[in-house]
Amino acid sequence: MEPINVVTSIMTPLDRKNVDTDQIISKEFLKRIERTGFGKYLFYHWRFDREGKANTDFVLNDSRFEGSQILVADENFGCGSSREHAPWAILDYGFRVVIAPGFADIFHNNCFKNGILPIRLAQSEIDSLLADGQKTPVKLTVDLEQQTVTREDTGANLRFEIDPYSRQMLLNGWDEISLTFQYEEQIAAYEERMAR
């Protein structure tokens, strides 16, 4: 996967709580057997009406946020189905960072496997980002090494927490399976112990 460290971009404010993975990528698009090409289906039924026309009041159709690499949403983002097609669609669309007060566990895990950085910020910070970001586009700089999110408009420098393992994986873009192969001896020993 592609390493990630510093991302500077206008943020896309998605002012919704409990965004489930069925909304991120709807089931009719899960039949592909590839990992790529899901971006055009991201939030499909919010982006387009039943005739396939763009819903102009949906934030992804707002030209002010075009080319954005940072998605900001409200609490419990990515709940529901385990479908990794959700982060695949988010990445393929062009987002590298998702910021929310909280994430559902499986989605959160899936992000790290695909070079997407999920950042938890306090609810008050998210409220302010969502409110301000909808009025005027807000540019953010995310720095994974420093674990900070900087707002260009206010200059606010917000620290975020991330476990050291996930941070390393993202910064280096490591293949986790290759890393686990270094533990072959321990895995084999475990299997032998359990077989007894």
Partner 1 sequence: MVKTIIEKVWDRHVVTEEEGKPDLLYIDLHLLHEVTSPQAFEGLRLAGRKVRRPERCYATMDHNVPTRNIKTVSDPTALKQMTTLEKNCKEFGIELAHMTHPDQGIVHIIGPELGLTQPGRTIVCGDSHTSTHGAFGAIAFGIGTSEVEHVLSTQTLWQNRPKTMEVKIFGELGTGVTAKDVILAVIAKFGIDVGTGHIIEFTGEAIRNLSMEERMTICNMSIEAGAKAGMISPDETTVEYLRGRRHVPEGEAFEVAAAEWLALATDEGAVYDTTLTLDAADIEPFVTWGTNPAMGTGISGHVPYASDYASSSDKEALKKAITYMGLEEGMRLSDIPIQHVFIGSCTNARLSDLRAAAAIVEGQHVHPSVTAIVVPGSRSVKRLAEQEGLDEVFKVAGFEWRESGCSMCLAMNDDVVPAGERCASTSNRNFEGRQGTGARTHLVSPAMAAAAAIAGRFTDIRKVPVLQD
| Closest distance of CB 107 from partner 1, Å | 8
Q: For 6, which DSSP code?
A: E
Among the listed residues 40, 54, 66, 165, the single contact to partner 1 using CB under 8 A: 165
Residue whose tokens read 């007060």: 101
Please say which residue, 8 or 131, places its beta carbon nearer to partner 1. 131
Residue 120 near partner 1 by CB under 8 A: no
Among the listed residues 57, 161, 191, 192, the single contact to partner 1 using CB under 8 A: 191
Residue 28 near partner 1 by CB under 8 A: yes
Residue whose tokens read 């387009």: 48
| Closest distance of CB 152 from partner 1, Å | 26
Structure-block tokens of residue 120 = 């938890």
Written as one letter, the residue type at 37 is G
Beta strands 148-151; 157-159: pairing state:
antiparallel
**Binding-site string for partner 1 from residue 75 to residue 94, where x marks contact by CB under 8 A and - marks none:** xx--xxxxxx--x-------
Structure-block tokens of residue 143 = 């720095």
| Closest distance of CB 37 from partner 1, Å | 12
Written as one letter, the residue type at 148 is T
Closest CA to 75 of 99, 97, 96, 54: 99
Please say which residue, 145 or 191, places its beta carbon nearer to partner 1. 191
Structure-block tokens of residue 157 = 């420098």
176 CB neighbour count, 10 Å cutoff: 12
The residue ranges that bind partner 1 (CB under 8 A) are 17-18, 20, 22-23, 26-28, 30-35, 45, 50, 74-76, 79-84, 87, 102-106, 109-110, 113-114, 163-165, 176-177, 180-181, 183, 186-187, 190-191, 194
